[in-house]
Amino acid sequence: MDKKANDTFAFDLENRLDDFFNDALPDQEDPDPEETQAPNAEIPLKDLKSTILAIDWEITDDALKAFIDQVETLLERFEDDKVARTYLKILQSLGKYIRTHKSKSHPDTIKRLMAVYSALEEAVASDGLGQDKKEKTLLAEVRKFQQLKTEIIDSKAPYPAVGQPKTVPTEDKSGMQAIIQSLEELKSMMATELTAIRESVERLEKK
Amino acid sequence: MAFINTKTKEVQVKLVFVGPGRGGKTTNLEHIFSRIRHRIESDMVSIKTQGDRTLFFDFLPFELGAIKGYNVKTQLYTVPGQVKYNATRKLVLKGVDGIVFVADSMVDRRENNISSLGNLKENLTFYDIDIANIPLVFQYNKRDLATEGIPILDVETLEEDLNSQLKAPSFTASALKGENVIPTVKKAISITIVGIRDKLL
The runs of H, that is alpha helices, within B50-180 are 86-92, 110-126, 155-158
For the segment B39-51, the average pLDDT, to the nearest whole number, is: 66
pLDDT given for residue B131 in this prediction: 97
Decide: A84 and A78 in contact? Cβ < 8 Å. yes
Q: Which phi and psi (to 5°) does residue B135 adopt?
A: -55, 125
Q: ∠ CA(B99), CA(B43), CA(A21), 5° rounding?
A: 60
Please give the C-alpha separations between residue A23 and each of A16, A33, A77, A170, B29, in angstroms, as whole numbers.
11, 23, 41, 65, 17
Check whether A166 has a pLDDT greater than 60: no
* Mean pLDDT, rounded, of chain B: 87
Tell me the percentage of chain B whose pLDDT exceeds 70: 92
List the single best residue of A21, A61, A67 to mutate versus B (max B Cβ within 10 A). A21
Confidence of residue A160 (pLDDT cuts 50, 70, 90): very low
Structure confidence at residue B74 (pLDDT): 92
Domain of A122, in residue numbers: 48-206
How many domains is chain B partitioned into structurally? 1
Is residue B44 scored above 80 in pLDDT? no
Distance from CA of A207 to the nearest CA of B (A): 37
Q: Write down the pLDDT at residue B36.
A: 87
d(CA A92, CA A48): 12
Please report residues of A whose CB lies closer than 8 A to that of B80: 57-58
pLDDT value at residue B13: 93
More confident residue, A133 or B120: B120
Partner residue opposite A16 with nearest CB, options B36, B37, B67 = B67
Lowest mean pLDDT among A88-97, A118-127, B45-54, B121-130: B45-54
Between A136 and A35, the more confident residue is A136
Q: From the CA of A23, how many Å to the nearest CA of chain B?
A: 8
* B84–A103 CB contact, under 8 Å: yes
| Mean of the per-residue pLDDT values of chain A | 72
Please answer yes or no on whether B39 and A23 come within 8 Å at the CB atom: yes
The domain of B79 spans 3-200
For residue B189, give the nearest of A153, A15, A177 by alpha carbon: A15
Q: What share of chain A in percent tops pLDDT 90?
A: 1
Task: Check which CATH number belongs to the domain holding B159 and give it.
Answer: 3.40.50.300
Res B23 pLDDT > 70: yes
- Label residue A177 by pLDDT band (50, 70, 90): low
Q: Nearest C-alpha of chain A: how many angstroms from B25?
A: 12
**pLDDT-based confidence at A136, cuts 50/70/90?**
confident
Q: Does the CB of A3 have a partner CB in chain B at under 8 Å?
A: no
pLDDT band at B160 (very low <50, low <70, confident <90, very high): very high
Closest Cα of chain A to B51: distance in Å? 5
Span A86-126, pLDDT tens digits:
899 899 989 988 888 887 888 888 888 888 988 888 888 77
User: Would you place residue A161 in the very low, low, confident or very high pLDDT band (cuts 50, 70, 90)?
Assistant: very low
CA–CA separation, A141 and A86 (whole Å): 10
Does residue A155 fall inside a structural domain?
yes
**Total domains, chain A:** 1
Chain B residue with CA closest to A4: the answer is: B201
Any B CB within 8 A of A2 CB: no
Percent of chain B with pLDDT over 90: 58
- For residue B193, the chain A residue with the least C-alpha distance is A13
Residue A19 to residue B65, Cβ atoms within 8 A: yes
pLDDT at B82 > cutoff 60:
yes
CB contact under 8 A, B50 and A103: no
| Confidence (pLDDT) at A5 | 61
| Mean pLDDT within B52-56 | 45
Q: What is the pTM of this model?
A: 0.56
Average pLDDT over residues B104-133: 95
pLDDT tens, residue by residue, A180-194: 665 666 666 667 667
